[in-house]
Chains A and B, each alone.
Chain A
Amino acid sequence: NAGVTQTPKFQVLKTGQSMTLQCAQDMNHEYMSWYRQDPGMGLRLIHYSVGAGITDQGEVPNGYNVSRSTTEDFPLRLLSAAPSQTSVYFCASSYSRASGTDTQYFGPGTRLTVL
Chain B
Amino acid sequence: AQSVSQHNHHVILSEAASLELGCNYSYGGTVNLFWYVQYPGQHLQLLLKYFSGDPLVKGIKGFEAEFIKSKFSFNLRKPSVQWSDTAEYFCAVNRVNRDDKIIFGKGTRLHILP
Contact = CB atoms under 8 A, between A and B. Distances in A.
Contacts of A59: 101, 103
Interface residues of A, number: 27
Contacts of B46: 103-104
A45 B45 CA distance: 17
A103 B49 contact: yes
Given A99-B94, A101-B32, A106-B44, A43 B100 contact: no
Interface in B25-51: 32, 36, 43-46, 49, 51
Contacts of B96: 100
Q: Which of B43, B45, B95 has the most CB of A within 10 A?
A: B43
B100 A97 contact: yes
Contacts of B107: 42-43
Interface residue tally on B, bucketed by range = 20 to 34
A107 B43 CA distance: 6
A32 B104 CA distance: 15
Interface of B: 6, 9, 32, 36, 43-46, 49, 51, 90, 94-96, 100-107
Interface of A: 31, 33, 35, 40-45, 48, 50, 56, 58-59, 90, 92, 97-101, 103-104, 106-109
